[in-house]
A = this chain, B = another copy of it.
Amino acid sequence: MKSDTREAIMEAGRKTVQAHGYNGLSFRELAKEVGIKSASIHYHFPTKGDLGAALARRYWEEAEAAFDGFWAETPEPGLCLRKYTNVFRLALENGNRMCLCGFMAAEHDDLPDAVKLEVQAFADVNVVWLAKVLSSMDASGDRMMARERALAIYAAIGGAQLMARSRADISVYDRIVESYRVAGLIPS
């Protein structure tokens, strides 16, 4: 098996970035949580940029797998979209955290290029998957329209999460997402 320590670093790192961002990620604090010395983290991730890129990459890989799971096991697209919006709700449930790549998107100017690319990859994963689900719903199924709508839904969900986080109130997320459905932005 892969190194337990490396896994522990990534797990703690993910949680930290979801709460304090890339700039709030500290090798010393991370080392303390894992139970090693900060110098040892450099053994697994030479630079902070390497760690950041690895975290963002794993984040979208796991998201892609989860989304594909929804699509495979949920025949009803409306329900599939509810599972999707629930993923972003889970981050809030978990200590009022937010999407790792959403936070990093805000920190765009301070990110190493390698990290920026992985953050964009996460957005792509969301948009491609959403476009696929949307296309399956609309019989007239304009692919380009579906992609534009997918981008809008992903952005809107990210905004809802950000708002709820700033209030530390998960019900804010629920209300906003419900409004998206009422307005017709997210099909039911």
Contacts and interface: CB of A to CB of B under 8 A. Distances in A.
A170 interface: no
A45 interface: no
A183 B152 contact: yes
Copies in the complex: 2
Given A159-B159, A185-B185, A166 B20 contact: no
Interface SS of chain A: helix
Contacts of A106: 21, 98, 102-103, 106, 162, 165-166
26 contacts: A21-B107, A96-B108, A96-B109, A98-B106, A102-B106, A102-B162, A105-B165, A106-B106, A106-B162, A106-B166, A108-B166, A108-B168, A116-B166, A120-B166, A120-B167, A148-B178, A149-B182, A151-B175, A151-B179, A152-B180, A154-B163, A155-B162, A156-B159, A159-B160, A183-B185, A184-B184
